Amino acid sequence: MQRNKRQLTAFGVLVKKTLIEKGMTQVQLAQEVGTSNKYLNLILYGDRSGDKYLHHIARVLDLDPEVLKKIA
């Protein structure tokens, strides 16, 4: 029996890529935006919408919030 591997959303891929480019960790991002790493992970994998945090994530990562809204 194979277990389905969870996949990042397009939003999650962009965030992870940007974190690597900026030399930041997901834990650091979670702290900056005021949430837990676990909850941020749920947002990146599409299990939670994260609407409350999108502008904060955009600000910290210097991304366009409108672009994030479209792919989140």
Q: Could you tell me if 29 and 40 are in contact, meaning their C-beta atoms sit under 8 angstroms apart?
A: yes
| Alpha-carbon dihedral angle through residues 45, 36, 23, 64, given to the nearest 10 degrees | 60
Spans of the chain, pLDDT less than 70: 1-3
pLDDT for residue 68: 81
The residue ranges of every structural domain in the chain are: 10-71
Contacts of 51 (CB under 8 A, 6+ apart): 72
pLDDT for residue 3: 67
Domain 10-71 sits in CATH at 1.10.260.40
Q: pTM value?
A: 0.87
Separation CA 72–CA 41 (nearest Å): 13
